[in-house]
Amino acid sequence: MINKNFTSDAKNVVDALANYLHESKNGSHKVIDQPTIFDIVNDLDIEPLLESGGLTGDKLKNFVNQYLKTTTKMHHNRYMAHQVSVPHPTGSLGSFIDGLTNNAMAIYEMGPGATAIEIHMINWMLKKIGWIPTPLPGAPKKPQLKSYGGGVMTNGGSLANLTAMVAARSAMFPYFWRDGNTGDVVVLVPEQSHYSLRRTIGILGLGEKNCVSIPADEDGRVIPNKLPKLIKKLKKNGKQIMAIVGNACGTAAGLYDPLDEIGAICKEHKIWFHVDAAHGAGAIVCDEYRYLVNGIENADSVVWDAHKMFRTPVLSAAVLVKDYRHLDNAFTQEASYLIHDKEQPGTDQMMRAVECTKSGLGLKMFMSIAAMGEKGLINYISSRTKLAIEAAKYIEVQNDIECPVKPETCILCFRIGKNDQRQLEIRKKLLKDGNFYISTTDYKNARWLRCVIINPDTTIDDIKELIYEIRKINAELGT
Ligand SMILES: Cc1ncc(COP(=O)(O)O)c(C=O)c1O
């Protein structure tokens, strides 16, 4: 039955969200406040609402207003904690439209518009990398291409890394799918990689011990000229190398590996080259920072998260391959109820993905970027990196605070004093007070405070006030 109150309910929800956005942005609320789960469940009347039903009108309005109080305020300019976007409000409308239309496009017929937009966004990313886009089914002129790029959008970068490694495995060892792993396969991963890569090796049954760390310099960047010796040693020990991973950029401090040099070594040794650009894909689209990803076009696969630096609501990520056949052949299972010969004007995305049913991830990405325009997007990405660099310069001249490295993206690490435990205590107090929300990380064998300057409204004054607050807390904690 159609909810006859839909229009007025939707209007109430939008009004509440608009007010929320306004209040979050002008700092009327704490950026973070964490009551217990018990209190939240009680305050929201979850159990009585489930029992009584009829979540509409004032009941809905009250619930939404209460719910909004329990949220972490991502739109607050002092949200600087994690690599999760501050979504563009227009992109959030994409989530809303997707939720109602529910065009779960495992197969084309389940969501022609959602599939078309996903494929268009994949082509947009392929072109930015420097690869050939997928010819669009139904286009009046069919280009005669032997090979071109391909991709699929996934629910997050972790799943995208997993998908890329499945594609690498099927390309390098096609018989593994049926026969299973042989136990002698290794993947070379930078120390500073996101944990999802090591987890992927475990999930694929390759054995975590077969995830080999690549030698790195003191900042954690891969040293490419150490790779040939490592490859030789591994081969001598009877290992087969499935893939080498480059970070663009690493998770902790946001540094980019020298992709062009790693790629050349992969090419020479015929090893799959995977680039994890989940966080750092912004450099692919910004001419100013493109040098950081030089050589990315020589990768076999790239992971790109739109829900990090592209102002897209979670989740919206992509795995992209230089040769579409590698993704099309990655999964060789059958699902006869979905996959059968059929004439259709589009293509089925489920052939390329871990997921079967999937939401309109491309729609959210498209609406977020289309709201800003490419120029607006580039200005945003560039301004966040510049602010991190400016903040590091400000810290450089303070004698009680230090940065471990000059930022290359919007990630800024620093610490006050040398005591690891003290950094954790400071963050704990900051979060308890709720006026700033930052994270911490392990890096260079020490604990650092960490800001991800992802909010478009954060300024240098916010960072200066954060440092003022940190000094105050440090003094209160004593020596
Ligand atoms: C470099 C890198 N890769 C992958 C991921 C995982 O992405 P997701 O959280 O979308 O699964 C992250 C998350 O921060 C990351 O920084």
**How far does the centroid of ligand 1 lie from the alpha carbon of residue 250, in Å?**
9
Query: Is the pLDDT confidence value at 479 over 60?
Result: yes
Probe residue for ligand 1, chosen from 192, 251, 443 as the CB with the greatest number of ligand atoms within 8 Å: 251
Alpha-carbon gap, residue 408 to 35, rounded angstroms:
36
Closest CA to 445 of 219, 289, 285, 207: 219
How much is the pLDDT for 336?
57
The 10s digit of each residue's pLDDT in 230-280 is 999 999 999 999 999 999 999 999 999 999 999 999 999 999 999 999 999
What are the DSSP calls for 293-345, one per residue?
GTTGGG-SEEEEEHHHHT-PPSP-EEEEESSHHHHHTT-----TTT-S----S
The 10s digit of each residue's pLDDT in 96-123 is 999 999 999 889 999 999 999 999 999 9
**Is 46 a domain residue?**
no
Comparing 65-74, 126-135, 169-178, 211-220, the range with the smallest average pLDDT is 169-178
pTM score: 0.96
How much is the pLDDT for 349?
84
What average pLDDT is seen over the chain? 94
**How far does the centroid of ligand 1 lie from the alpha carbon of residue 157, in Å?**
5
Compute the average pLDDT of residues 378-392. 98
- What are the residues whose beta carbons fall under 8 Å from the beta carbon of 469, sequence distance 6 or more? 430, 433, 435, 436
Alpha-carbon gap, residue 260 to 263, rounded angstroms:
5
**How far does the centroid of ligand 1 lie from the alpha carbon of residue 288, in Å?**
23
Alpha-carbon gap, residue 412 to 465, rounded angstroms:
15
Could you say which DSSP state residue 118 is in?
H
Q: Which atom of ligand 1 is nearest to the CA of 280?
A: 1
Alpha-carbon gap, residue 227 to 215, rounded angstroms:
8
Residues above pLDDT 70, as percent of the chain: 97
Structure tokens belonging to residue 282: 């912004």
**Is 31 a domain residue?**
no
State whether the Cα torsion 31-37-42-48 is positive or negative: positive
Confidence of residue 285 (pLDDT cuts 50, 70, 90): very high
Cβ–ligand 1 contact at 317 (below 6 Å): yes
Query: Is the pLDDT confidence value at 30 over 50?
Result: yes
Probe residue for ligand 1, chosen from 153, 189, 193, 196 as the CB with the greatest number of ligand atoms within 8 Å: 196
Compute the average pLDDT of residues 413-418. 97
Cβ–ligand 1 contact at 157 (below 6 Å): yes
Phi-psi region of 273 (alpha: psi -120 to 50; beta: other; left: phi over 0): beta
**Is 126 a domain residue?**
yes
Q: Which atom of ligand 1 is nearest to the CA of 156?
A: 10
**Is 266 a domain residue?**
yes
Query: Is the pLDDT confidence value at 335 over 60?
Result: no
Alpha-carbon gap, residue 247 to 213, rounded angstroms:
13
Cβ–ligand 1 contact at 274 (below 6 Å): no
Cβ–ligand 1 contact at 158 (below 6 Å): yes
How much is the pLDDT for 339?
58
Compute the average pLDDT of residues 74-101. 97
Query: Is the pLDDT confidence value at 396 over 90?
Result: yes
- What are the residues whose beta carbons fall under 8 Å from the beta carbon of 168, sequence distance 6 or more? 242, 243, 272, 274, 300, 301, 326
For residue 317, the domain's CATH number is 3.40.640.10
Query: Is the pLDDT confidence value at 345 over 90?
Result: no
Confidence of residue 146 (pLDDT cuts 50, 70, 90): confident
Determine contact, residues 165/355, Cβ cutoff 8 Å.
Answer: no
Probe residue for ligand 1, chosen from 82, 83, 310 as the CB with the greatest number of ligand atoms within 8 Å: 83
Confidence of residue 334 (pLDDT cuts 50, 70, 90): low
Q: Which atom of ligand 1 is nearest to the CA of 83?
A: 14
**How far does the centroid of ligand 1 lie from the alpha carbon of residue 51, in Å?**
38
- Report which protein residue has its CA nearest ligand 1's atom 7: 157
**How far does the centroid of ligand 1 lie from the alpha carbon of residue 262, in Å?**
21
Q: Provide the domain limits for residue 254.
A: 100-368
The 10s digit of each residue's pLDDT in 354-373 is 999 999 999 999 999 999 99
Alpha-carbon gap, residue 117 to 80, rounded angstroms:
31
**Is 51 a domain residue?**
no
**How far does the centroid of ligand 1 lie from the alpha carbon of residue 317, in Å?**
9
Cβ–ligand 1 contact at 305 (below 6 Å): yes
**Is 14 a domain residue?**
no
Query: Is the pLDDT confidence value at 1 over 90?
Result: no
**How far does the centroid of ligand 1 lie from the alpha carbon of residue 50, in Å?**
35
- Report which protein residue has its CA nearest ligand 1's atom 4: 157
* Residue located via tokens 């062009």: 260
**Is 418 a domain residue?**
no
Compute the average pLDDT of residues 336-346. 67
User: How many domains, in total, are found in the chain?
Assistant: 1
**Is 453 a domain residue?**
no
Q: Which atom of ligand 1 is nearest to the CA of 249?
A: 1
Query: Is the pLDDT confidence value at 338 over 80?
Result: no
Query: Is the pLDDT confidence value at 402 over 50?
Result: yes
Could you say which DSSP state residue 437 is in?
B
